[in-house]
Amino acid sequence: MPRFVIQQHDRQGEPRHWDLMLEQGDGLKTFRLDLAPAELVNSQAKATPIEDHPIRFLTYEGPVNKGLGRVKIAEKGTYITLAREDDSWELELDGQILKGRFSLTRLTPDSWGLRRD
């Protein structure tokens, strides 16, 4: 089963955010989230697509951005794609915190929402 990870991302001069990374072949489809994993249980997060990441980020914790930031794993597990279209992605997450059905839905051309179904 494909894996997922959510990394807490702290960078000097920027608000904390979280990166949701979904294993896709030899890379990670990545979305920047404005909520922590525990908050996703009852709320919708803004999910902004960002550049895909290398597969090694599934387990990486440490410095990033030339030492200006740091990431640590906040959540991890496996997932199943239930349905996928251009503007939506239905997932079944099996993580330590996030368990169950979640939807990634395009809200605008550059913004998506992640919510629990």
Q: What is the tens place of the pLDDT at every residue in 42-64?
A: 899 999 999 999 999 999 999 98
Q: Which domain holds residue 19?
A: 3-116
pTM comes to 0.94
pLDDT at 35: 96
Query: Count of alpha carbons within 13 Å of 20, Cβ hemisphere only?
Result: 26
Of 14-23, 58-67, 86-95, the range with the lowest mean pLDDT is 58-67
Q: What percent of the chain has pLDDT over 90?
A: 89
- Total domains in the chain come to 1
